[in-house]
């Protein structure tokens, strides 16, 4: 190849190279603008920061992918087959990452619909804990005894989610059984006086004394007291202690399970 041919080749490809450079620069600028615009739009819509960042980056990558295809087209590369190859590769990757994509989709749904937030105590995916973080693929929980659990989002979103601390108030239910010989009205009067002595008990909704059932060894009652959610366990302990003390003061027994065993047939055979 002589000098003239080299010069002709340079002159022929220079416009394409310059065009490719211009496309790359403009595409880079447009990708950055699209990324920022998407992020701001999602933030204004109160979308979670994690999801907003991910979607914004995905938009930027998608724009740059089209920019690269346009650059290849400048040099006469057939982009149709290239797109088909990318599509096939994407399908193969998608099939290989079904579990990961399922976790990602579940993470997006959790972030969008917000059945719980960081700091809530929840039961989900077969475990219970305080939410530490909700990522795109997993949810991090801290148990009440301070163990870290990492649960896949598909397990969390795919089952029942119990948000224990969703409401500001909760009801404390304390079960207690009394002797069959105890007077029902007397027991009710004693138990109805308990809520007024419980620190943290709310008057609205009003406490309730519920006669639940006639058990095998006892008449069973349930003391229902409402309290603030963050005081639940303290109120539960105070109520349990006060119920026991009130029944003891009235000399009303709290029986334990009993069983009567009849030996008549055995005694007759041995006699």
All structural domains of the chain with their residue ranges: 3-96, 115-163, 169-249
The whole-number pLDDT of residue 20 equals 76
The whole-number pLDDT of residue 118 equals 87
The whole-number pLDDT of residue 101 equals 76
Stretches in the chain below the pLDDT threshold 50: 97
In the chain, at which residue ranges do the beta strands (DSSP E only) sit? 121-124, 127-134, 138-142, 148-152, 162-163, 169-178, 208-214, 219-228
Euclidean distance between CA atoms 71 and 77, whole angstroms: 9
The whole-number pLDDT of residue 24 equals 81
The whole-number pLDDT of residue 226 equals 96
Q: Among 106, 110, 65, which residue's Cα sits nearest to residue 89?
A: 65
The whole-number pLDDT of residue 269 equals 56
Q: Which fold has domain 3-96?
A: Helix Hairpins (1.10.287)
The number of C-alpha atoms within 13 Å of 161 and in the hemisphere containing its C-beta is: 22
Euclidean distance between CA atoms 239 and 219, whole angstroms: 19
Pairing status of strand 219-228 against strand 169-178: antiparallel
The whole-number pLDDT of residue 189 equals 94
According to CATH, what is the number of the domain 115-163? 2.30.30.60
188 three-class SS: helix
Q: What architecture does CATH give domain 169-249?
A: 2-Layer Sandwich (3.30)
- CA-angle at 30, arms to 81 and 18, nearest 5°: 65
The whole-number pLDDT of residue 79 equals 61
8-state DSSP, 242: H
């Amino acid at each position: 190849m002589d000098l003239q041919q080299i010069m002709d080749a340079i002159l022929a490809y220079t416009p394409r190279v310059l065009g490719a450079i211009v496309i790359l620069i403009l595409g880079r600028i447009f990708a950055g603008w699209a990324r920022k615009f998407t992020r701001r739009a999602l933030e204004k819509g109160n979308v979670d920061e994690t999801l907003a960042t991910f979607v914004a980056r995905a938009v930027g990558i998608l724009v740059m992918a089209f920019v690269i295809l346009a650059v290849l087209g400048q040099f006469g590369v057939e982009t149709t087959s290239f797109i088909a190859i990318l599509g096939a590769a994407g399908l193969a990757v998608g099939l290989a990452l079904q579990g990961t994509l399922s976790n990602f989709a579940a993470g997006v749904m959790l972030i969008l619909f917000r059945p719980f937030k960081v700091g809530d105590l929840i039961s989900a995916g077969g475990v219970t804990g305080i939410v530490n973080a909700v990522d795109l693929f997993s949810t991090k929980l801290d148990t009440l005894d301070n163990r870290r659990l990492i649960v896949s989002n598909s397990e969390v979103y795919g089952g029942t989610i119990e948000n224990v601390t969703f409401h500001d108030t909760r009801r404390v239910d304390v079960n207690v059984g009394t002797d069959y010989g105890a007077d029902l009205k007397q027991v009710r009067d004693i138990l109805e006086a308990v809520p007024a002595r419980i620190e943290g008990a709310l008057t609205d909704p009003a406490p309730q004394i519920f006669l639940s059932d006639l058990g095998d060894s006892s008449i069973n009652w349930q003391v229902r007291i409402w309290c603030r959610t963050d005081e639940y366990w303290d109120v539960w302990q105070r109520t349990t202690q006060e119920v026991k003390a009130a029944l003891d003061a009235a000399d009303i027994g709290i029986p334990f399970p009993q069983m009567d065993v009849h030996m008549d047939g055995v005694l007759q055979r041995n006699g």
